[in-house]
Amino acid sequence: MEYKNFIHGEWVGAKSKEKFENRNPANWDEVVGLFPRSGSEDVDEAVASAEAAFKKWRLVPAPKRAEIIFRAGEILRKNKEEIARDMTREMGKVLQETRGDTQEGIDTAYYAAGEGRRMFGDTAPAELPNKFAMSVRQPIGVCGIISPWNFPMAIPTWKIFPALVCGNSVVFKPASDTPLTAVKFVEVLAEAGLPAGVINLVHGTGSGVGTPLIEHPKVKLISFTGSSAVGRQIASFCGKTLKRVSLELGGKNAQIVMDDANLELAVEGALWGAFGTTGQRCTATSRIILHEKIKDRFLSMFLERVGKLKLGNGLDSSVDVGPLVNKAQREQIHSYVEIGKKDGAKLVAGGRAYEEGDCKKGWFYEPTVFDEVLPKMRIAQEEIFGPVVSVLKAGNLSQAIELLNDSSYGLSSSIYTNNVNSAFAAIRDIEAGITYVNGPTIGAEVHLPFGGVKDTGNGHRESGPAVLDVFTEWKSVYVDFSGRLQKAQIDNVAIE
């Protein structure tokens, strides 16, 4: 099928008439669809549509805006299976996970809809008599949303649902690896009754669509999820123009396993954290830090389970690990495996492309484990974004936390221990936006803030109540009903 952009409530092709293919990474012979290769002219049209729609949308009462988002959640719930299957076809992860991805969008819709009746401001006593003081949230304007391919439903909903509830309009640029899920999402919003122009969808590349969207003077906010390198470029431009920007970037997450941990549980967590979504998560477990007393036993148990993981098409319910999203991603993963071997790490599982049976036509890679990894090796420091995990050794809790913190990233973290004192010390001392105790590094819930420290972002958070600070401006309001001029600080004199 051929798909189009969505601008001012209509499905339209790119001005250039050019198209690009979306293919199934589990079977590269299968073309999922054709999509418009848009450019700056299409972005200009979408922004103009969003700017015009914002003037009316911002005046719709927030509870009424929220009702549309709630309806979108209901439609997502009704179409969950269809959306999940299409998502697996276009980006590869197993059906269980794409169902979860869609469920996260449903959960976000219900949560964001609730904010339509909250979105609380503050009232405070004024320092002068017969004067009232309060603060309120107001929408910002046209928001440019740039989302990645690994969570093509969940992450756009994290951004777009709260943006809309807050009264903003949106121009949405999805990843070119997952355009079909973006179409399905926008179809849901249109069916839910969102007015024309409030949501606009423009397909294309980062240079063709992303850059013009970031640089457009009428776009007041950019929300981006992707690599730290690209995030720095976006932040640099937005800094020059004082445009608001929210960045959710990379991770090099670690799971600590202490000597008092439940090892069976810790192995389950490490498997899910390292190889869920084929390791293509910003929260993936890329490092496992093992207490020296249990290292050999844990590693033996872990490798036995890794060896049993089944690779294949994610639509097959018996499959554990799907393909990487494209050829370039697989080549990138393999280059890091070669770097790890060259630097002296010990390859104990995987380490090569998997091309057996039905996997010959896809971009599969064996789940890969390195032992004897030193903290400063590149595979222990750089985000790999694939099914590769490094094992490090620690002698005690403080050393384990020091190893975990020895990273330029700080997104997610995990510790397995049955010692409450160790758990709370880790919660206090780990440098990360998320810490799990006796759980893997993946699995965030939509009502808590999501994001990280250091190179993982620029201080903003998605999900939970914190996301409102991204998509609203604070306005302080003073009402003086004294009937005379009162000068703050000057007339505020001590009472005798």
User: Any idea which residues carry the catalytic annotation?
Assistant: 248, 282
Which residues neighbour 268 within 8 Å (Cβ) at sequence distance 6 or greater?
none
For residue 212, the cross-strand partners are: none
> b or e along 215-230 (b: 16 or more beta carbons within 10 Å of the residue's beta carbon)?
bbeebbbbbbbbebeb
> Cα(250)–Cα(227) distance, rounded to whole angstroms?
5
* Beta strands 199-201; 285-291: pairing state: unpaired
The Cα 34–Cα 2 span in angstroms is 5
Taking the CA atoms of residue 382, residue 388, residue 393 and residue 397 in that order, the dihedral angle to the nearest 10 degrees is: 70
Write the DSSP string, 348-370.
EE--SB---GGGGGS--B--EEE
Beta-carbon-side half-sphere exposure of residue 357 (alpha carbons within 13 Å): 5
Locate 76 and state its tokens: 């997502």
Distance CA 5, CA 183 (A): 8
Q: How far apart are CA 74 and CA 62, in angstroms?
A: 19
Place of tokens 């010959």: 360
The answer to whether 474 and 137 have CB atoms below 8 angstroms apart is yes
Residue whose pair of structure tokens reads 């959960």 in the numeric block: 107
Q: Tell me the backbone φ, ψ of residue 477, rounded to 5 degrees.
A: -125, 130
Measured CA to CA, the distance from residue 458 to residue 473 in angstroms comes to 17
Pick from 357, 366, 388, 370: nearest CA to 322:
366
Integer Cα distance of 336 and 333 in angstroms: 5
- Under 8 Å between Cβ of 269 and 442: no
Q: Please, is 407 exposed, middle or buried when counting C-beta atoms within 10 Å of its C-beta (0-12, 13-18, 19+)?
A: buried
Q: CA 266 → CA 122, 260, 366, 373, distances in Å?
A: 44, 11, 21, 19
